[in-house]
Amino acid sequence: MLRRSVRQIQVVALTIAFAFALSAAPVWAQNIESVTVGYGTLQLSGLFQAGVNYNLGDDELAREDVDLDGDGEIAEDGSESDIRVLNDRPVESEFVMRRVRVALKGDVMDEKVGYLFQAEFSEPEDGVRLLDARMDFAFIPYTTVNFGRFLPNFTYWQPMNKALTYTILLPQMNEFLGVQRQTGVNVNVYHRFFELDFGAFNGRQEINAPFTPEGGMTVGENDADTWDDENSAKDLYVSGAIKPVPGLKLFGGYWYGRPLDYYDEDGDGELTAHDVDVGIVDAGLAYLSDFGLSIWGEFMRQTVTFDGESPAGSKRADDFTEYVALSWYAMLAFNLNEAAGVPLEVVGRYDYLDPDSENDRDTHGYHDETQHVTAGLNYYIQSNHAMMSANIILKDDDIEALNKARDDSVKGVDDDVFLFQVQVWF
């Protein structure tokens, strides 16, 4: 009781501090200029996002009753000698440097030949990490061809500048199912009433299957940064959108991949077996009004099918040969600036993910759905260039999803979180 009271006091204190920061924040503006370089043009930009993660739930994400002391029985009073902690949370709160990015963007031929370079600095243990190295060619009207490494234009939020995402964290579909940065080629056709993208890439190196017994499953031989792989068929995708009225966008797409597993079947060193088919269907809508209201909804279905006849596939149990993941969210935001002249925005989102819908009870013995409800505030000091955000995420993660014993012994899961973030984008 005392610990929970202390937590409540701390949450109130953080909220008061956030409100005080809103009232005391200065407003400033600065024009962003392009820099003339040796040839062509160059614009330097950067994104800094830092804040606090505060865990509102138990220090123990889940626990189960186990006869740890070996006396042949489990203590009914839940004594520590007969409790095993599952997924123990290491810290109650922490300061985080979420993103530190620097980008160089420009053109070398009157906007017909351009480039983008972007690097990430917020993970010091990994050093500087390359995000994007893209070249753009726009010689055909309404059409741009992209070469290099970048995020494909698949799903609504994945390719968007992370300074413009309304919430601190992206929907679960982007975290677990969305495509990663890829090396390849993309063709974009853009018109005021429609958009069309199609591309070919080396492919993704990992299939995320959260909460399943096998966890994240590595597929193919491409490295962590997706520079290259042994995917002879490559990954292919197509996506499109129509914009029938101002502010409304209806979009959808399909992604297909067939990574080649690194398996030497006959001993001569040649790769021979395709191990898995990956198919992703995505569809949704976005409406951005001119009076402050914004609405989004998106659905994704990902199918991962392992070839049970291939050498690598035969190592897996038959009932794990196919995973079908489902995820969707509904989200809205209202900016008070248009209605009341206050640069404050209210955001809400319901977010659902089932990473393995086909194999729930029959295969694992448990369900593994997660439902997250996010409520937040954004305060725009100078639009998105200087802002503060506060989000609370209420998580309904299926209790049995964290129960590796696959029985009814888990006593509870409480992993809600409060996030605060400041942002500077130049």
What is d(CA 403, CA 382) in angstroms, rounded to the nearest whole number?
A: 46
Q: How far is CA 75 from CA 64, 70, 80, 83, in A?
A: 12, 11, 9, 9
What is d(CA 315, CA 15) in angstroms, rounded to the nearest whole number?
A: 52
187 or 182, greater pLDDT: 187
**Tens-digit pLDDT profile for residues 375-422:** 999 999 999 999 999 999 998 876 554 444 445 555 556 678 999 999
What is d(CA 255, CA 198) in angstroms, rounded to the nearest whole number?
A: 10
Q: Where are the domains of the chain?
A: 2-425
Is the distance from CB of 369 to CB of 342 less than 8 angstroms? no
Residue 17, pLDDT > 50, answer: no
Is the distance from CB of 409 to CB of 66 less than 8 angstroms? yes
Q: SS3 sequence, 16-43?
A: HHHHHHHHHCCCCCCCCCCEECCCCEEE
Rounded to the nearest integer, the mean pLDDT of the chain is 76
Task: For 2-425, give the CATH class.
Answer: mainly beta
pLDDT level of residue 314 (50, 70, 90 thresholds): very low
Spell out a b/e string for 281-320, using b for 16 or more CB atoms within 10 Å of the CB, else e.
ebbbebbeeeebebbbbbbbbbebbbbeebebbeeeeeeb
Mean pLDDT of 250-256: 96
Question: What phi-psi label fits residue 87: left (phi over 0), alpha (psi between -120 and 50 degrees) or beta?
Answer: left
Is the distance from CB of 68 to CB of 84 less than 8 angstroms? yes
Percent of the chain residues topping a pLDDT of 70? 61
Question: At a CB cut-off of 8 Å and minimum separation 6, what does 80 contact?
Answer: none
Of 376, 354, 196, the C-alpha closest to 294 is 376
pLDDT level of residue 355 (50, 70, 90 thresholds): confident
Helices (H), 193-266: none
Is the distance from CB of 34 to CB of 43 less than 8 angstroms? yes
Q: Are strands 386-397 and 370-382 parallel, antiparallel or unpaired?
A: antiparallel
What is d(CA 368, CA 356) in angstroms, rounded to the nearest whole number?
A: 7
Rounded to an integer, what is the distance from CA 362 to the centroid of its chain?
Answer: 29
162 or 266, greater pLDDT: 162
What is d(CA 155, CA 300) in angstroms, rounded to the nearest whole number?
A: 9
What is d(CA 376, CA 170) in angstroms, rounded to the nearest whole number?
A: 13
Of 43, 48, 49, the C-alpha closest to 31 is 43
Burial zone of 168 (CB within 10 Å; 0-12 exposed, 13-18 middle, 19+ buried)? buried
Mean pLDDT of 227-244: 77
Residue 199, pLDDT > 50, answer: yes
